Chain A
Amino acid sequence: MRRSTLLWSVLAFAVVIGLFVVKHRVQTLEDSLHALNAEIIADRDAIQVMQAEWSYLNQPARLEALSKRWLGMDVPVSAQTVSMQELLDQSAPEQTGKTGLTEIAARKNPTPKPTLPQRPARTPAPPASDNNDWLKPILAKLKKSQ
């Protein structure tokens, strides 16, 4: 009788302690979640503000004025745009050296990829991935010289 009473009271006490600890932990976690949520909201607001600012700073009119003033850029004329084929047709006889030849060989494959036109300053530079082949020997050369 006494033994069982003792057992039960110990068990009850343990459960009470356990419950208290768990409850306390949950509360701490919820507190930190709450803080994190507030932080996320603040960060999202900040990102939103920065995106708006980015867009504001990239106003085409502003970029145009800046690139005119600092980079000397101007409205492109059609004469500034030359396709790779035209360039090769013109420069092929003067080409000497190994890299030049490989370049021409690479360019003269049966389906030459259309090259992107030269663009004004505000557009990103045309992706170079298309023309990586001919860049390789040059890059290799650079590596060697280093």
Chain B
Amino acid sequence: MIGKRQAPPEKIRIEGDRKTAIETGRNRLMVAGALFTAAFTVIGIRVVDVSVFSDNSEPHYTRSIAKDEKHTGRADIVDRNGILMATSLNTASLFANPRLVLDPEQAAIRLATALAGINVKAIEKKLRSDRGFVWLKRHLTPRQQYAVNHLGIPALNFQREARRMYPLGSLASHALGFTDIDNKGLSGIERYFDKELRTRQDNMALSIDVRVQHMLEHELGAAMKKFSAIGAAGLVMDVDTGEVIAMSSLPSFDPNQPGAIPQDLRFNRTTLGVYEMGSTFKIFTTAMALDAGTVSLRGGYDATNPIRIARFTIRDFHAKKRWLSVPEIFMYSSNIGAVKMALDVGISGHRGFLTKIGMMKPVGIELSETGAPLAPNRWREINSMTISFGHGLAVSPLHLVAGVSAIVNGGIYRTPTLIRRNPAETPAGKRVVTAETSAKMRRLMRLVVKNGTGRKAAAPGYIVGGKTGTAEKVSGRGYKKKALISSFVAAFPMHKPRYVILAMLDEAKGTKETSGYATGGWVAAPVVGAVVRRIAPVLGLRPIKETDAVHDTLAIEISGKSAREPRVASH
């Protein structure tokens, strides 16, 4: 190229200074040309690289939403049949930048016209503050949002926020729990699975059945009102899987108003509360004695005289003052008989058995609110004696239900759960009593409802069996005579148990109808009967005619003449 350009000098000859000037100009041109060439080459290479080699280099300012993508932060909670129990809804929250507000007073007054029930003074104070961001009201309804927009106040803005909603209201509130305004789980499942619910993509299915839950709460609530009790607790548990079908602690609360829940209502009586359960513990005492072989169903103990130990006297509520067979001890809820049964097994055996059925440590359910049992530090003979009839060892109602499930289901203890289990994935559990003992216990429990203290729990066709329990509440160092924990724990249908159910009333008072009694047989057993009658059809159980086959499975020989006695103790 240079050679070609140099050819013209043949025509025009330039010499001296002019030639030098032209040479300089030409050189500069060359340098500039080279620079431009380099720059364009680089750009060219980049263009090829961008358009050919790297795909997706075009910046997307939007992308399509994946089909299964979730739009809210927190996973929904549904019941075992898929009914929505907790969900997150997007709402608008109003905030302001106070620095941009022109007339705080006027703005506050006008806002009050759009948002009923706000404090004008507080809003004005917020708008006068020297900050860049203040919340004015969280979670507006669409109508409120429209009204605020309509005011046209500058410096106000909306933030889209997810709000936790519980469409079923107070139903199962203690199991579900609730979240605070920032969607942080504060109690129940919401708290236990807080992290998981934040990240989980699909719904979380609980073992709760809202229909059963409602029926249990309804019947418990009615009994609580009728007997002026200060509280009530109820549980329904699947004996084979350990799933809790219903869990009710009354009084309950509305998780939709997290700010307005009094502290004492948050207390979950079924898992956090520990109570001395009273005679329901005789289920464990009897099962232990039968399993250990220290007594058989035909055996029995003398219950003529009260037992005196230290400064205590252990007597029977409805004393028969004679020798009682094991079925009679169970049926009449004899404390003396239970004490003798426990003493025959021995202190370490008694303690070991209760440890085996989970009475010594908190239940491993998916709740943070689990109470640790109150067990004696040093287990002496006197402890064994009182614990044999349910005093001196305080456990939660869930402990009791889990233990009774193990006794009636053939002898396998499974940790209760609030999460729906696939029937195929039922944990193996651990054996606590033999299948024979379990069968015997089923007969004994059926006897209580058929002829004994729990006759008010009968539900025709569903073959209920159970055990009553009444305990005086501990107050300081002694017991309150008038404050009772009345309970009834049952299983049904008794020839092949499917569910264990517990009803417990806290400080129930007797009425005229119950002749002033507030014992388990009078106040809690009818609740169980009513609940069973209602839930059994929902749970898909058919009423069973008490055929000979069923009768034979549950028949029991009550030795002693009192079996045919018409009068039956109601304790």
Residues of A within 8 A of B (CB): 26, 30, 33-34, 36-37, 40-41, 44-45, 48-49, 51-56, 58-61, 64, 75-79, 81, 83, 114, 116-120, 122-123
Contacts and interface: CB of A to CB of B under 8 A. Distances in A.
A117 B89 contact: no
Contacts of B169: 56, 59
Given A34-B61, A55-B84, A76-B534, 17 more contacts: A30-B60, A33-B63, A41-B65, A49-B89, A51-B84, A52-B165, A55-B168, A59-B214, A60-B211, A61-B171, A64-B214, A81-B537, A81-B542, A83-B542, A117-B541, A119-B537, A120-B538
Given A37-B62, A40-B65, A41-B65, A48 B542 contact: no
B84 A52 contact: yes
A61 B214 contact: yes
Interface in B41-64: 58, 60-64
Given A45-B89, A60-B214, A78-B543, A37 B537 contact: no
Contact of B461 (A52, A78, A120): A78
B118 interface: no
A2 to B, nearest CB: 20
Contacts, number: 102
Contacts of B210: 60
B538 A44 contact: no
Nearest to B212: A60
Nearest to B543: A78
9 contacts: A48-B71, A53-B167, A60-B168, A75-B534, A78-B461, A78-B462, A81-B461, A83-B542, A120-B538
B85 interface: yes
A61 B218 contact: yes
A111 B280 CA distance: 42
Contacts of A55: 83-85, 87, 167-168
Contacts of B183: none
Contacts of A81: 461, 537, 542-543
A117 B537 contact: yes
A37 to B, nearest CB: 5
Given A30-B61, A33-B64, A40-B65, A122 B541 contact: no
B217 to A, nearest CB: 8
Contacts of A77: 460, 533
B304 interface: no
Nearest to A119: B537
Nearest to B84: A55
Contacts of B60: 30
Contact of A120 (B65, B167, B537, B542): B537
Contacts of A79: 460
Pairs A-B, 10 closest by C-beta atoms: A78-B461, A78-B543, A60-B214, A55-B167, A55-B84, A56-B167, A34-B62, A52-B167, A117-B542, A44-B71
A80 B534 CA distance: 13
Interface string B523-567: 000000000011001101111000000000000000000000000
A120 B212 CA distance: 12
Interface in B427-457: none
Interface in B477-496: none
Contacts of A123: 211, 537-538
Contacts of B540: 116-117
Contacts of B462: 78
A121 to B, nearest CB: 11
A33 B62 contact: yes
B62 A30 contact: yes
B72 interface: yes
Contact of B537 (A52, A53, A58, A76): A76
Contacts of B460: 77-79
Nearest to A58: B83
B87 A45 contact: no
B157 interface: no
A55 B76 CA distance: 12
Contacts of A34: 61-62
A59 B168 contact: yes
A47 B298 CA distance: 64
A52 B65 contact: no
User: Which of B61, B90, B533, B537 lies at the interface centre, i.e. has the most chain A CB atoms within 10 A of its CB?
Assistant: B537
A117 B63 CA distance: 52
A144 to B, nearest CB: 36
Contacts of B168: 55-56, 59-60
